[in-house]
Amino acid sequence: MLAAERRPDPAPEDAGLLRFLTCGSVDDGKSTLIGRLLLDTRSILADALSAIERTSRRRGLERIDLSLLTDGLQAEREQGITIDVAYRYFSTGRRKYIIADAPGHEQYTRNMVTAASTADLAIILVDARKGLLTQTRRHATVAHLVGIPEVVVAINKMDLVGFSREVFDRLCAEYRDFAGRLGAGRTRFVPMSALDGDMVVERGERLPWYDGPTLLELLEEAPASGAAPAERLRFPVQWVCRPHTAEHHDYRGYMGRVESGRVRPGDEVVVLPSGSRTRVARVELHGQAIPEAVSGQSVTLLLADDVDVGRGDLIALAEDAPAPVRELAATVCWLGEAPLAPGRRYVIRHATREVPAVLGAIDHRLDVNTLDRHPAERLSMNDIGRITLRLARPLCPDRYADNRATGAFVVVDEATNDTVGAGMID
pLDDT at 413 exceeding the cut of 60? yes
Position 164 scores a pLDDT of: 97
Position 379 scores a pLDDT of: 94
Position 297 scores a pLDDT of: 93
Q: Identify the band that residue 325 occupies on the pLDDT scale cut at 50, 70 and 90.
A: very high
Sequential DSSP letters for 131-157: -S-HHHHHHHHHHHHTT-SEEEEEEE-
Residue 31 exposure: Cα atoms within 13 Å on the Cβ side: 23
Question: With contact defined as beta carbons under 8 Å apart, do 175 and 126 qualify?
Answer: yes
pLDDT at 77 exceeding the cut of 70? no
pLDDT at 50 exceeding the cut of 70? yes
Position 225 scores a pLDDT of: 59
Reduce the secondary structure of 219-268 to three states and give it as a string. HHHCCCCCCCCCCCCEEEEEEEECCCCCCCCCCCEEEEECCECEECCCCE
Q: Range with the lowest mean pLDDT among 97-106, 132-141, 266-275, 357-366? A: 97-106
Position 88 scores a pLDDT of: 84
Position 71 scores a pLDDT of: 59
Q: Range with the lowest mean pLDDT among 95-99, 165-169, 343-347, 422-426? A: 343-347
Position 252 scores a pLDDT of: 92
* Long-range contacts of 281-290, Cβ-Cβ distance < 8 Å, separation of 24 or more: 284/253, 289/265
Distance of alpha carbon 215 from the chain centroid: 19
Position 321 scores a pLDDT of: 95
Give the angle 250-255-256 at the CA atoms, nearest 5°. Answer: 165
The predicted model gives 101-113 an average pLDDT of 71
Distance CA 22, CA 84 (A): 13
Q: Identify the band that residue 106 occupies on the pLDDT scale cut at 50, 70 and 90.
A: low
Q: Range with the lowest mean pLDDT among 103-112, 117-126, 151-160, 164-173? A: 103-112
Position 5 scores a pLDDT of: 45
H/E run at residue 101: strand 96-101
The predicted model gives 394-419 an average pLDDT of 91
Q: Which of 83, 110, 86, 111 is nearest to 100 (CA)?
A: 86
User: Across-strand partners of 362?
Assistant: 387
Position 83 scores a pLDDT of: 46
Q: Please write the tens of the pLDDT for every residue from 285-301.
A: 998 999 999 988 999 99
Q: Range with the lowest mean pLDDT among 53-62, 102-111, 369-378? A: 102-111
pLDDT at 78 exceeding the cut of 60? no
pLDDT at 371 exceeding the cut of 90? no
The predicted model gives 148-176 an average pLDDT of 95
